[in-house]
Amino acid sequence: MLRNPSTTDNDTWGRTSGWLILGFLCYALPWRVFAALPLPPEGQPALQIQGSNTIGARLGPALVKGLLEEQGFQEVRIEAAKVANEQRVSGINAAKQRVFIEVAAHGSGTAFVALKDASAQLGASSRPIKAAEAQSLSALGDFHSAAAEHIIAIDGLAVILNQQNPLSSLTTSQIAQVFSGEITTWEELGGSGGPIHLYARDDNSGTFDTFKELVLTANGKTLAASSRRFESSEQLSDAVSQDPQGIGFIGLPYIRQAKALAVTDGQSRPMLPTATLVATEDYPLSRRLFFYTPPSANNPWGQALVQFAHSDKGQALVEKAGFVPQTVSAVNVNASSSMPPIYRELAHQAQRLSVNFRFQQGSANLDNKALRDVERVLEYLEKQQKTQHKVVLVGFGDPKVDEAHALILSKWRAQVVRRELSKGQLIIDKIIGFGAELPVANNQGDEGRIKNRRVEVWVY
């Protein structure tokens, strides 16, 4: 994205220009760029990736394959390794050498263990790094920083049933009661079918960690011991689709032949895991997918893969793999009587961008995804010629004792986003604050409050 650098933006402009130049070289001179990446010793991988089964089953290998092809490799192929849930992606370079990258998918928790013992140089995780994990890796740098944490895609956890089950929606509280074993029959949920059969991912899974945090722990529950556990997402989904009494949770690409439920959290409306609601992270069980790289000892192949994952080609592969890409688009929103009048007017007259800006916990700073989204939004608005008085920023928050204070904070969040976007010569038409109205998550927990503290972007 080309734009005029301001005095305060020179460093950012320098970095952006550098990547633009590198991007041109990667496209025009693939062999020369590849030569800059160090070749591994004979028989050794150029890069080892460990972690999430959600990422490692399909998306990780697809991104590695795309990177190798982008670098000019020939005969690129993905092959199963000797160990279950492990794959090898390889290609032949200009010197007729076959170079390979290993992708192991044994759960998000294994990513940080492997980074610590150096058995992997890139960790794939379907949930954010935990404080204890970041502390254990502190010798390698700050793993909460933008230099280490890279959001490569958005996913949603779908609560799935057999297609024959007539149930259409549940609250997160009901889901927690089901999976904790407090609700044991379909009749207790207003349905029929007798005993409920529970299907869950294993303890190493980021999918399970996310479900545990967003659903179980948030409602003071733990998973019932009677749950059948799976390392494989595909196997879990197929088992539910073949069991009329079954219920499970899974990443969006793995719904397969099952049926997804609409989910309500707190005061939010029931939401199906649609691409738009997942992209904005409004859907209650949406989540981010991550690559983690050590800031102090970053593997050049890992760096190249991260940059490729953020590129247009990389995000196209994200979508092809069944996840939600971070590319920006404008969508129509159906106005309803439950909306505040000003918001309803926006829905009639403007379109909403598929991006919500969110903030670091307990901070006025944009989070790592939002920092990249600033550039994505600016690029989109420039292409659409909507940089001058065509944009409205809408801020939201969580309830406060004083409603006026919540309103001020929501408007202030929009001001923070305006400040960042203004560095790209964008002139905002207006900003609006709605306080704690239109929540998308339960305000009883930190995770829900963080999701509700958001800024939407609307364009005329």
175: tokens are 């889901």
AA identity, residue 385: Q
Under 8 Å CB-to-CB from 244, ≥6 apart: which residues?
162, 164, 165, 193
Backbone angles phi, psi at 106, to 5 degrees: -115, 15
Check pLDDT > 50 for residue 14: no
C-alpha angle 27-31-37 in degrees, rounded to nearest 5 = 100
> At 115, is the secondary structure helix, strand, or coil?
helix
In 3D space, the residue among 37, 51, 192, 60 whose CA is nearest the CA of residue 119 turns out to be 51
Gap between the Cα atoms of 299 and 356, Å rounded: 31
Backbone angles phi, psi at 388, to 5 degrees: -125, 100
Predicted confidence at residue 324, as pLDDT, reads: 93
Check pLDDT > 50 for residue 1: no
24-28, 224-228, 377-381: the lowest-pLDDT one: 24-28
> At 4, is the secondary structure helix, strand, or coil?
coil
Predicted confidence at residue 363, as pLDDT, reads: 84
Q: How far is CA 444 from the centre of its chain?
A: 23
Check pLDDT > 50 for residue 23: no
> Mean of the pLDDT values across residues 382-398?
96
Could you read off the pLDDT of 446-458 as tens digits, one per residue?
888 999 999 999 9
Could you read off the pLDDT of 292-316 as tens digits, one per residue?
999 987 799 999 999 999 999 999 9
Which stretch of DSSP H or E encloses residue 50?
strand 47-51
Under 8 Å CB-to-CB from 30, ≥6 apart: which residues?
70, 71, 72
Model confidence at 26, pLDDT cuts 50, 70, 90, reads very low
**What are the E-state strand segments in 93-187?**
98-105, 122-125, 149-161, 169-171
Predicted confidence at residue 356, as pLDDT, reads: 97
Check pLDDT > 80 for residue 255: yes
391-395: strand order across its sheet: 330-331, 351-358, 454-459, 391-395, 430-433
Half-sphere exposure of 273 (CA within 13 A, CB side): 25
Question: Structure pTM?
Answer: 0.81
> Where is pLDDT greater, at 148 or 276?
148
> Mean of the pLDDT values across residues 315-325?
94
Which stretch of DSSP H or E encloses residue 259?
strand 259-260
Half-sphere exposure of 255 (CA within 13 A, CB side): 18
Check pLDDT > 80 for residue 208: yes
> Mean of the pLDDT values across residues 256-261?
96
Predicted confidence at residue 36, as pLDDT, reads: 63
AA identity, residue 410: S
Could you read off the pLDDT of 404-427 as tens digits, one per residue?
999 999 999 999 999 999 999 999
Domains belonging to the chain, first-starting first, are 7-152+288-320 (3.40.190.10), 155-276 (3.40.190.10), 328-459 (3.30.1330.60)
Model confidence at 444, pLDDT cuts 50, 70, 90, reads confident
Look over the chain and give the mean of its residue pLDDT values, rounded to a whole number.
90
Check pLDDT > 80 for residue 9: no
Predicted confidence at residue 448, as pLDDT, reads: 85
428, 430, 435, 440: CA torsion to nearest 10: -60
Predicted confidence at residue 89, as pLDDT, reads: 98
Check pLDDT > 70 for residue 137: yes
Taking a C-beta distance cutoff of 8 angstroms, is the pair 102, 44 a contact? Answer: no
In terms of residues, how long is the chain?
A: 460
Check pLDDT > 80 for residue 12: no
Check pLDDT > 60 for residue 436: yes
Could you read off the pLDDT of 92-122 as tens digits, one per residue?
998 899 999 999 999 999 999 999 999 999 9
AA identity, residue 278: V
Gap between the Cα atoms of 415 and 337, Å rounded: 27
In 3D space, the residue among 112, 154, 102, 114 whose CA is nearest the CA of residue 135 turns out to be 112
**What are the E-state strand segments in 43-148?**
47-51, 74-80, 86-92, 98-105, 122-125
11: tokens are 């460093």
Taking a C-beta distance cutoff of 8 angstroms, is the pair 1, 16 a contact? Answer: yes
Gap between the Cα atoms of 354 and 456, Å rounded: 9
Check pLDDT > 50 for residue 164: yes
Predicted confidence at residue 154, as pLDDT, reads: 95
Backbone angles phi, psi at 357, to 5 degrees: -90, 130
